[in-house]
Structures are given as C-alpha cells and as structure tokens.
Structure 1
C-alpha cells in the first residue's frame, strides 16, 4: 500500500497522468492532497520556466530623450 501511495503522489506532482487505482479509495483529505499536488506540480514548473526565461538584463546605455518642436 505504501508503494502505491508513493507512486500516486509522485505521479500527481509530476502531472504524468498515471494512477495505481487507489485514488477513489482515499479519504476526502487524501484526494484533496492529490489535487493540490497536481496543481502545484503544474503551476510550479510553468512558473520556474517563465522566471528563468524572463531575466532582467542590465543595459549600460540610455537612449537620449528629447521633445522636438514641431510647427
């Protein structure tokens, strides 16, 4: 039973989609934990990827700003 629970939690966090079939037998609190792990696993990996992709870079120059007179 413990190896099935381990497999279920790892599968939920990694959002693999595999199940050992014990999810329906879990109590309501256990099912909520599985749902939370699925959500954290999905949002966490997307958040990490976007954080690494959007790093601010230091720009050593600045464009000149001027209000030209027209007319």
Structure 2
C-alpha cells in the first residue's frame, strides 16, 4: 500500500492528470492488469520508468514474499535411509 501511495504521489507530480486517472494507472500497473486510463503516453520518461518498476514489483513482490514466509528452514528430526543401487 505504501508503494502504491508513494507512486501515485510521484506520478501526480510528474503529470498534470487528475488523482482518479493516476490512481487507476498505478493500481493497474501494480496489479499487472493490463488496463490503462490512457495517460501512459503523457507521463514522460520518469513516469514510464515508475510504471515499469511498479509492474515488475507487482509481479514478483507478493509471490516472493509469500514463498519466503512459507519456506522457512526447518531442521529434520529424522534421517532418510540411503542404500547403494546395484545394477547388473
């Protein structure tokens, strides 16, 4: 939420568009939805870079955070048996 709010503020500074258009654009980029309010062409290079970063973070961020929390290193209290395989 902080990233979306900060990006919205920065995009409002970079462009002369209204809050609802910019917020729609930022949330769409973060959610990698593929929708646009039509203001992407008017954002300039800094706005384009910001939207590209939002798309990348939105695509990898929640998945990475979820897997990092789910995949904690746990010690095993058992050993798996090992046996050499005899072939032939």
| TM-score, normalised with respect to structure 2 | 0.61
Q: Which runs of 4+ in 1 moved over 3 A?
A: 61-64
Of structures 1 and 2, the larger Rg is shown by: 1
The number of residues matched between the two structures is 65
Report the structure, 1 or 2, having the larger helix content: 2
Q: Distance in 2 between matches of 1:33 and 1:6?
A: 13
Gaps of 5+ in 2: 1-17, 82-88
**Root-mean-square deviation (Å):** 2.1
Q: How does 1:1-71 map to 2 (within 5 A)?
A: 1-61=18-78
**Corresponding residue number in structure 2 for 1:69:** none
Gaps of 5+ in 1: 65-71
